[in-house]
Amino acid sequence: MSLVAAFSGHRIDEPGRSQPRFPQTAVEKVAEEIRNIISDWNILFGFSSAAGGADLLFLEQLIARGGEPTIYLPFPTDSFVATSVGPEWKSRFEKVVSNPKCRIIVLHDKMPEKEDEQKQAYQECNEAIREAALAAARIYDQEPLLVAVLASSEAGSLTGGTAEAVRIWKERGCGQVIVTDPLNLQ
């Protein structure tokens, strides 16, 4: 049981994605899996970003359970919505971030122009989420949990991505990791 969890997960697949990792057909089952993990582990404090897909599913489920999310954005909301949320998830994003229990932390005052700098901003976001979860867990004298939605096909490390977040969490011995593969839930 852990009151504190960090979260990292894939965005929903764009139409026509050549190698699926989080297809639209898995959304309901992933949401159910996340809901069960939050309940089983009694997660009350969650640290996550808010991209369209797994992040928003985690935040929605945590809020529904009465939990308190802290949302980290690598850069301002408008840029983040354009790059990481997408039009089909925008209303869900707006509903989550407008919830009074949500605390939102924006790490940079503008979106970097260069792609490698954007990847670095996402990596810094993962780091901030991890460090905040570790700090909160110390307050409650508990080991934090990392909940991740990660397709097994994405096990390689992508800078700033879920695979990297899982790898670093394990390498540093931050706590237990629970990985849900959306490709196994269709």
* DSSP states of 132-162: HHHHHHHHTT---EEEEE--GGG-S--TTSH
pLDDT tens-digit map of 105-140: 999 999 999 988 988 999 999 999 999 999 999 999
Domain that holds residue 41: 4-184
Read off the pLDDT of residues 152-177 as tens digits, 9 standing for 90 and up: 876 665 666 898 899 999 999 999 99
Amino acid at 54: A
Mean model confidence pLDDT for the chain: 93
Average pLDDT over residues 41-61: 97
> Domain total for the chain?
1
168: domain CATH number is 3.40.50.450
Q: How far apart, in whole angstroms, are the C-alpha atoms of residue 96 and residue 112?
A: 25
